[in-house]
Amino acid sequence: MKKVRFIFFLICLQSSVYSQTELDSLYQIWNNEKLNDSIRAQAYNDYIYDGFYASQPDSALILLKELYQFTKKTKNDQGLIEALTLKGYLQFRMGDYTNALVSYDEGLELAEKINDKLGTADILIKIGYIYHDNEDVVNALVYYQKSLKIYEAENDLNGKGSIYNEFGSIYLSKDEFDKALEYYKKSIAINNELNDEDSNSSMYINIGNLYLAKEEFEPALEYYEKGLKIEKKKNDKLGIAAGLSGIGTVYLEQGETEKALDFLQKSFDISESINDIQGGANSLLTISDIYLDKKNYLMAISLCKKSLEMTQKVGDLGGQEFACECLYEAYRALNNNKEALIYHEKMILISDSIKTEDLAIKLQQIEFAKKVMADSLVQIEKDMAVQLQHKAEVQRKDKNRNLAIGVGSICFLLALGFFSRWHYVKKSKDILKKEKDRSESLLLNILPAEIAEELKEKGEAQARDFDLVSILFTDFKGFTEMSAELSAAELIGEINHCFKAFDLICEKYKIEKIKTIGDAYMAAGGLPIPSTDSVQNTVLAALEMQSFMTKRFSDLETTDGFTFEMRLGIHTGPVVAGIVGVKKFQYDIWGDTVNTAARIESSGAVGQVNISQSTYELLKDNNQFNFTHRGKIQAKGKGKIDMYFVTPKDSGD
């Protein structure tokens, strides 16, 4: 198992190198009450940033409280904005995203109020860092683009270079290497124009990440060393840790384990010394992976537990998934199946980033509606009794009226009242029936019919083992980039159009839709009722899905419309299926077959149906298909796997 965790620089590393003498001078300016308040505040800000930001973040936050109160008291809006921005930056670095956003929001409101354009842009890009670090690239792009517009309007080259660096990292995370390199080089060109080679260090390290992802180790090492040299010159510990980690990962990929451990351990030690939780967790995960490969399972477990704790602290779901996978494999190797299962389930739950509609809440709402209706009927009966009693009293008081008319009136009123009550009760029952039908329809829409029936009868549905299930995954190419260019309505409208077509195709071939995860679609053939032709039907459905997407892309290519190209992968094997969760439950499947199917999809090609060796073995004699052997393809976390492209066999073949 090899996991490469890239550290994408979400910050522009431009720290100055200050001597202790210069820091003392800044502190003296701050303490000189005869000087202008703005000058004192700026000196204290520089003192905190250059003296404490990288090495003592906790102390920096304490000092920033004093600066915040001072700028607030002296009504120095500009100084207050800078203090809030630096405070948010520190909180972000320490993994405290919630309070970082609070600090940024306060600073942003003030910057917009006094029309501080560059201050506004600076905070916007830093809010983007938070979303980017949480892998929410859609929202990250929104903030980056808002920031870029301001930098362009103000012709601020430093700001534009920072944004280009972030765009490069987003494209790199999506394996769009050419685009990523293009933006990194744009950022480098700006720094060169400003004669600021020191600011290129983060770009050099990110380009090292890029070549590492492409498995081009020599240029990766060259750029990491180039970036590390500048970081050491600046004495920027955050950058030094990133450079060391990158070099260590290159050596690991080249099989030089001892060299890798040396660099990675140095990186972790520096990250830990400056409380850089995210960077430290990345290095620790890679170190733990080395011990796992060495079969030193106890050391791997110790390190993975520590990295899991660190990634949980900063909300890094990807890191948590890696740590849980490490713990799962280590405990499984030690035959501790109980602990292995715990971490395997955690890993699966973390990987499910988007869930289906909250069925439990909807059912609660329906039950609440029923309760309200029942209470209303009780109240109507009470009101009717009061009304009849009142009428009776009126009749008794009007003794002198004609008895016949009185009796007739009472009978009429009683008849009218009971008719109204009967009509209302009938209407209420109709509403309750309608709500019950909606409830059952909702259950059937989210769960397979057999599972829904079991849930209604027993109040629960047992998880079941299935020996042969074909898992189908799809993924749209270029979704992230398209999401930055289109409105939410346009984007969701197109995804909905495609997924509706997939739903109909699944229904046609009797395969079960499991869920959608963002722009990905997941379905399975062979459950909840096993079928002898489920593998064949899953491949037929896949071919029809690709045919639909290819035709739609071709039809819209020459018009103003848009759609996506799609990758699709299938793997067949055993799974466990059932309802997961207590509140937000859904019918789901898990097991190594699911993980492998996801890797088969991501290793595929647009317009093709990529299948695994096990799926091929079950269909190789089927005269409906042609198969093209792709050889052994590297799959992340799975090693090399035999894969095949499958196409429908022409009638003339």
The DSSP letter of residue 79 is: H
pLDDT confidence of residue 557: 72
pLDDT confidence of residue 591: 85
Instruction: Work out the end-to-end distance of the chain between its first and last CA atoms, rounded to an integer number of angstroms.
Output: 42
CB 320 within 8 A of CB 311: yes
Residue 381 has pLDDT above 60, yes or no: no
Residue 219: asked if its preceding bond is cis (omega within 30°), the reply is no
Q: Which residues of 216-244 are buried (b: 16+ CB within 10 A; e: fewer)?
A: eeeebbbbbbbbbebbeebebbbbbbbbb
Q: Can you read off the two tokens belonging to residue 51?
A: 């003296």
pLDDT confidence of residue 446: 53
CA dist 233 and 244 (Å) reads: 14
Beta-bridge partner residues of 566: 476
For residue 635, name the pLDDT band (cuts at 50, 70, 90): confident
pLDDT confidence of residue 12: 40
Element of type H or E holding 570: strand 565-580
Provide φ and ψ at 622, rounded to 5°: -75, 120
The DSSP letter of residue 354 is: S
Amino acid 154 reads E
CA dist 207 and 237 (Å) reads: 19
Residue 8 has pLDDT above 50, yes or no: no
Query: How much of the chain, in percent, has pLDDT values that exceed 70?
Result: 77
Q: Which segment of 119-123, 399-403, 491-495 scores lowest on mean pLDDT? A: 399-403
CATH class of 462-648: alpha beta
171 vs 461, more confident:
171
The mean pLDDT of the chain is 79
At 615 the three-state DSSP class reads: helix
pLDDT confidence of residue 100: 87
Query: Which of 178-182, 352-356, 647-651 ranks highest by mean pLDDT?
Result: 178-182
CA distances from 520 to 265, 526, 564 (A): 37, 20, 12
CA dist 500 and 497 (Å) reads: 5
Q: Can you read off the two tokens belonging to residue 511?
A: 């395969």
Give me the mean pLDDT over the 459-469 stretch: 75
For residue 445, name the pLDDT band (cuts at 50, 70, 90): low
Q: For the segment 563-596, what is each residue's pLDDT rounded down to a tens digit?
A: 888 999 999 999 888 775 555 456 788 888 998 9
Give me the mean pLDDT over the 259-263 stretch: 92
Q: For the segment 98-144, what is each residue's pLDDT rounded down to a tens digit?
A: 888 889 999 999 999 999 999 999 999 989 888 887 767 778 888 88
The alpha carbon of 191 is separated from its chain's Cα centroid by a whole number of angstroms, namely: 32
Task: Give the residue from 131, 177, 174 showing the smallest Cα distance to 476.
Answer: 174
Query: Which of 100-109, 310-319, 383-392, 632-641 ranks highest by mean pLDDT?
Result: 100-109
- Residues recorded for the chain: 653
For residue 10, name the pLDDT band (cuts at 50, 70, 90): very low
Q: For the segment 30-61, what is each residue's pLDDT rounded down to a tens digit?
A: 888 888 988 998 888 888 887 777 667 778 88
For residue 644, name the pLDDT band (cuts at 50, 70, 90): very high
pLDDT confidence of residue 358: 34
User: What residues have CB less than 8 Å from 363, skipping those under 6 apart?
Assistant: 439, 442
CA dist 53 and 36 (Å) reads: 25
pLDDT confidence of residue 581: 55
Helices first, then strands: H and E counts in the chain: 25, 8
Give me the mean pLDDT over the 422-443 stretch: 51
CB 126 within 8 A of CB 104: yes
Q: Which residues of 299-320 are buried (b: 16+ CB within 10 A; e: fewer)?
A: ebbebbbbbbebbeebbbebbb
Where in the chain are the domains? 295-351, 359-446, 462-648
Q: For the segment 600-611, what is each residue's pLDDT rounded down to a tens digit?
A: 998 899 999 999
